[in-house]
Amino acid sequence: MRKTLLVTGGAGFIGSNFVHFMLRNRPEYDIIVLDCLAYAGSLDNLPDAVKQPDQSSGSAFRYGDICNADLVNALTAESDKIVHFAAESHVSRSIVDSWRCVQTNIIGSQTLVDAVRKGNGRVERMVHISSSEVYGEAVTPQMDEAHPLNPKSPYAGAKCGADRMVYAYCATYDLPVVTLRPFNTYGPRQHIEKLVPRFITHVLTGQALPLHGRGEAMRDFTHVDDLCRAVDLALHAPLEQVRGEVFNVASGTCRSVRGIAQDIARLMDADPGRVIQLPDRPGQVARQCGDFAKIHRTLGWSPTIPWDSGLRTAIDWYAQNPDSWRKQALFSTQPILQPDGRIALH
Ligand SMILES: NC(=O)c1ccc[n+]([C@@H]2O[C@H](COP(=O)([O-])OP(=O)(O)OC[C@H]3O[C@@H](n4cnc5c(N)ncnc54)[C@H](O)[C@@H]3O)[C@@H](O)[C@H]2O)c1
Three-state SS string over 221-272 comes to EEEHHHHHHHHHHHHHCCHHHHCCCEEEECCCCCEEHHHHHHHHHHHCCCCC
User: Does residue 9's CB lie within 6 angstroms of at least one atom of ligand 1?
Assistant: yes
> CB neighbours of 199 closer than 8 A, spacing ≥ 6?
209, 260, 261, 264, 265
Distance 273 CA to ligand 1 centre (A): 32
User: Does residue 86's CB lie within 6 angstroms of at least one atom of ligand 1?
Assistant: yes
Q: Which of 8, 14, 112 gets mutated to test ligand 1 (max ligand atoms within 8 A of its CB)?
A: 14
- φ/ψ (deg, to 5) at 238: -55, 135
Over residues 152-159, the mean pLDDT reads: 96
Distance CA 31, CA 79 (A): 9
User: Does residue 290's CB lie within 6 angstroms of at least one atom of ligand 1?
Assistant: no
Residue 344 has pLDDT above 80, yes or no: no
User: Does residue 162's CB lie within 6 angstroms of at least one atom of ligand 1?
Assistant: no
Distance 269 CA to ligand 1 centre (A): 31
Over residues 286-297, the mean pLDDT reads: 98
- pLDDT range class, residue 279, cuts 50, 70, 90: confident
When mean pLDDT is compared across 18-27, 63-72, 250-259, 272-281, the lowest value belongs to 272-281
Residue 256 has pLDDT above 90, yes or no: yes
Distance CA 43, CA 214 (A): 37
User: Does residue 6's CB lie within 6 angstroms of at least one atom of ligand 1?
Assistant: no
> CB neighbours of 6 closer than 8 A, spacing ≥ 6?
32, 34, 75, 76, 78, 79, 81, 82, 83
Over residues 64-83, the mean pLDDT reads: 98
The closest residue, in CA terms, to atom 25 on ligand 1 is 9
Distance CA 301, CA 227 (A): 10
Which pTM was predicted? 0.96
Give residue 134's pLDDT: 98
Distance 236 CA to ligand 1 centre (A): 22
Instruction: Burial-class residue 2 by CB neighbours within 10 Å (0-12, 13-18, 19+).
Output: exposed
User: Does residue 85's CB lie within 6 angstroms of at least one atom of ligand 1?
Assistant: yes
**3-class secondary structure, 211:** strand
Distance 87 CA to ligand 1 centre (A): 4
What is the chain's mean pLDDT, rounded? 95
Distance CA 73, CA 61 (A): 16
Distance CA 32, CA 61 (A): 6
Q: How far apart are the first and last CA of the chain?
A: 49
Q: What is the number of helices (H) and of strands (E) in the chain?
A: 14, 15
Distance 35 CA to ligand 1 centre (A): 10
Domains annotated for the chain, with CATH where assigned, are 3-188+222-250+291-305 (3.40.50.720)
For strands 209-212 and 275-278, give the pairing.
parallel
User: Does residue 188's CB lie within 6 angstroms of at least one atom of ligand 1?
Assistant: no
Give residue 234's pLDDT: 98
- pLDDT range class, residue 292, cuts 50, 70, 90: very high
Distance CA 260, CA 266 (A): 10
Give residue 261's pLDDT: 97
- Please give the share of the chain, as a percent, with pLDDT higher than 70: 100
User: Does residue 151's CB lie within 6 angstroms of at least one atom of ligand 1?
Assistant: no
Ligand 1 atom at minimum distance from 14 CA? 16
Q: Which of 8, 13, 102 gets mutated to test ligand 1 (max ligand atoms within 8 A of its CB)?
A: 13
Residue 26 has pLDDT above 80, yes or no: yes
- pLDDT range class, residue 242, cuts 50, 70, 90: very high
User: Does residue 14's CB lie within 6 angstroms of at least one atom of ligand 1?
Assistant: yes
Ligand 1 atom at minimum distance from 84 CA? 41
User: Does residue 108's CB lie within 6 angstroms of at least one atom of ligand 1?
Assistant: yes
- Amino acid 134 reads V
Question: Please, what's the largest Cα pairwise distance for the chain?
Answer: 61
Region class of 274: left (phi > 0), else alpha (psi between -120 and 50), else beta: beta
Distance CA 150, CA 220 (A): 18
Cβ pair 185, 14 in contact under 8 A: yes
Residue 124 has pLDDT above 80, yes or no: yes
pLDDT digits (tens, 9 = 90+) for 74-95: 999 999 999 999 999 999 999 9
Residue 286 has pLDDT above 90, yes or no: yes
Q: What one-character DSSP code corresponds to residue 103?
A: I
Cβ pair 208, 275 in contact under 8 A: yes
